[in-house]
Amino acid sequence: MRVFIFFLLFLTIPDCYAQKQSIDSLQIYQAVKGQLLTINQDDQQGRQLLDSISRKYGAKSNQVDSLWKAIHVADQVNLEKIKVIFRQYGWIGEDKVGVQASMTQFLVIQHSDVATQHQFLPIMRQAAKAKKADAGLLAMLEDRVALGERKMQIYGSQISLDPNGAYVMPLVDPDNVDKRRAEVGLGPLADYISRWHLKWDVNAYKAQLPELKKKHGIDN
């Protein structure tokens, strides 16, 4: 009988241990989710005020300038928090913390400087490959880094605004952009740029491209 009891305990203890580990892991990710959602709120808070402040005081007003300075300070604080989370857990997928909290990692990185974006790009590539990060968001980061390094963007996600209106920033191989966008789950470029009341005319864009490359200091 003693042998049987010992054998029964041996079978049940690992199950209890695994269950406790699962509960502990759930509690950890719930705490991290709270941190990420707070960072998300801090990231968006100032940016959500930009439109109303610009309309009230003007896009080049002191008020808008002060708001941008506050946003940049918040961005730096958020970046340091994200770095700590990465060191502890790596890239956290939406299966652990939900869509919004997981996307916060991308938001903070895309709002950082080019050197930081370049540093985190391989991490996000691996996360997207492991289905922990959205491939469409990775495409946006790829475009940001390329343009920041004076190269042409790949997916056409980056739009610039100037006094003459909005335009698609320099884009490699415009003829096949929709094919590349589809590969990462993005819709046609024409639909995307319609948000800025733009129409996609690939031939007109190719004619304009040399001028756009010169404007952005792109040689290749």
Based on the structure, what is the number of domains in the chain? 1
Position 53 in a domain: yes
Domain that holds residue 115: 2-133
Q: Which helix (H) or strand (E) holds 160?
A: strand 159-162
1 or 67, higher pLDDT = 67
Please identify which residue in the block is written with the tokens 């990462």: 184
Q: Please write the tens of the pLDDT for every residue from 29-58.
A: 899 999 999 999 999 999 999 999 999 999
Instruction: Give the pLDDT confidence score for residue 26 in this predicted structure.
Output: 75
Q: Give, in order, the Cα–Cα distances in Å from 19 to each of 14, 26, 172.
A: 9, 11, 51
C-beta atoms surrounding 58 within 10 Å: 11
pTM across the whole model: 0.81
Position 84 in a domain: yes
Lowest pLDDT segment from 8-22, 135-149, 198-212: 8-22
* Average model confidence (pLDDT) across the chain: 89
DSSP state of 161: E
Question: Is the pLDDT reported for residue 206 higher than 60?
Answer: yes
Position 69 in a domain: yes
| Residues 6+ away with beta carbon under 8 Å from 218 | 150, 151, 152, 170
Two structure tokens written together for 207: 């004619």
Instruction: Give the pLDDT confidence score for residue 8 in this predicted structure.
Output: 45
* Reported confidence tier of residue 14, pLDDT bands at 50, 70, 90: low
Q: Please write the tens of the pLDDT for every residue from 143-194.
A: 999 999 999 999 999 999 887 889 999 999 999 999 999 999 999 999 999 9
Two structure tokens written together for 49: 């005020």
DSSP state of 93: P
Position 138 in a domain: no
CA distance 173 to 132: 29
Considering just the CA atoms, what is the radius of gyration of the chain in Å? Answer: 23
Strands 159-162 and 165-168, bridge-based pairing: antiparallel
CA distance 50 to 44: 10
Instruction: Give the pLDDT confidence score for residue 24 in this predicted structure.
Output: 55
DSSP 166-203: EEE--BS-GGGHHHHHHHTT---HHHHHGGGT----HH
End-to-end CA distance of the chain: 80
Position 102 in a domain: yes
Q: Please write the tens of the pLDDT for every residue from 61-107.
A: 999 999 999 999 999 999 999 999 999 999 999 999 999 999 999 99
CA distance 94 to 208: 40
CA torsion, ordered 32, 37, 42, 48, to nearest 10 deg: 160
Q: Label residue 135 exposed, middle or buried (CB < 10 Å: 0-12, 13-18, 19+).
A: middle
Position 24 in a domain: yes
Position 10 in a domain: yes
Question: Is the pLDDT reported for residue 141 higher than 70?
Answer: yes
